[in-house]
Amino acid sequence: MYIVPKLDDYSPEALDRAVTELRQALSREEASISSQSEWKEFRDRWLARKNGILTQLNNVWLKPSPPDLKRTVGQVINALHPEIEHFVMNGQSRVEDIRTVLGSLSKDILASERLDITLPGIRRPIGVKHPVLRVMDEIVAVFKAMGYSVGKGPEVETDYYNFESLNFPPNHPARDTQDTLFIAGQEGKPARDRLMLRTHTSPVQIRTMEQQPPPVRIIIPGKVHRNDPLDATHSPVFHQVEGLAVDTNITFCDLKGTLDHAMKALFGSSVKTRFYPSFFPFTEPSADMQVSCIFCGGKGCRKCKFSGWIELLGCGMVDPNVFEFVKQYGYDSSKISGFAFGMGVDRLALLKYEVEGIQMFFEGDVRFLEQFA
């Protein structure tokens, strides 16, 4: 670091030496600057009005100089002023060059990571409802409009809720119609507590009646499982929508009227319904309901196997034996009655979308599912 030396000798040779020393220091210091802050320090060190080196020259060299040489010393110092300023400016432009280089470097980086907001965005396809879910929601919506609420229950169910309380006694042959998938390792439990994948949504009827006294109007959509090998119309996983209405004075006419209205809401007002005797353990009497073919209007086509009718659901009046299981919750079969119905959603979706095999719904093939987007 340069310190302004006192001059004992004011001879022209001595002054020359001192000025040369100063110039060398100035040049050295300027060359060592590499940043904006170092440059500012350099500038102030040499040019600051209060104690910069230029000011010090006046105090250290000029003031103590012999009066007859003051003029010469003053001229030497004045000549140094523009030189110092020249170096300060040089330093500044050099630092700015460094900044420019750094700036252009980061510009390269910026350019490589640049986001062109004028490009079209990346399309992220929004999922749509699965065709089975869509049909299920349509059915549920029809019943919601009639004042039904939506009920849900577990897919892993106990023997009690899936069979026993729905009037399928142990070893009853009706159980054979529902090939059941049982959960392994249940042998240690009492028969009614053993777990299985529910074979129908009907257990939710019992669960609902345990939760609330009559009247009940409930629609139950859900996934069910049976030990059916996969073919065009069977799948070990399928979907049902189940309905239950319990109140005083509910008759088979209410059942027919409700379902007839629902089918007209689903398929159009020209659709007709008819009921055939059938059997289910939890309804008495039981019926199968058919609708006039929604494709040919009843004339006969491939879809209705040229009969003009399509079998769509099972239904019936709730068997008094079922009410026995929920008697303590306010269901006295001498005072109340009800009807229940259930339909396979997948079969409806097969018909509606003219799909060849039920497995198409569950294979997750996007090319198939995209058709419903």
Site residues (vs Zn ion, CB under 5 A) = 293, 295-296, 301, 303-304
Q: Which is nearer to Zn ion, 305 or 335 (CB)?
A: 305
Rounding to the nearest 10 degrees, give the CA dihedral for residues 164, 165, 169, 172: -80
Distance between CA atoms of 348 and 262, rounded to whole angstroms? Answer: 14
Q: Which is nearer to Zn ion, 241 or 304 (CB)?
A: 304
The H or E element spanning position 292 is strand 283-292
CB of 232 to Zn ion, least distance (A): 18
Q: Which is nearer to Zn ion, 181 or 296 (CB)?
A: 296
Q: Coil, strand, or helix at residue 196?
A: strand
Q: Which is nearer to Zn ion, 144 or 305 (CB)?
A: 305
CB of 290 to Zn ion, least distance (A): 11
Q: Which is nearer to Zn ion, 167 or 273 (CB)?
A: 273
CB of 351 to Zn ion, least distance (A): 10
**Could you give the C-alpha distances from 294 to 109, 263, 276, in angstroms and in order?**
65, 10, 19
**Could you give the C-alpha distances from 180 to 163, 196, 229, 312, 361, in angstroms and in order?**
11, 7, 12, 22, 22
Q: Which is nearer to Zn ion, 234 or 303 (CB)?
A: 303
**Could you give the C-alpha distances from 326 to 213, 246, 249, 333, 334, in angstroms and in order?**
9, 12, 18, 10, 13
Comparing every residue's Cβ against Zn ion, the nearest one is 293
Q: Coil, strand, or helix at residue 255?
A: helix
CB of 297 to Zn ion, least distance (A): 7
CB of 298 to Zn ion, least distance (A): 7
Pairing of strands 216-225, 149-150: parallel
DSSP letters along 333-372, please?
TTT-EEEEEEEEHHHHHHHHHT-S-GGGGTS--HHHHGGG
CB of 312 to Zn ion, least distance (A): 13
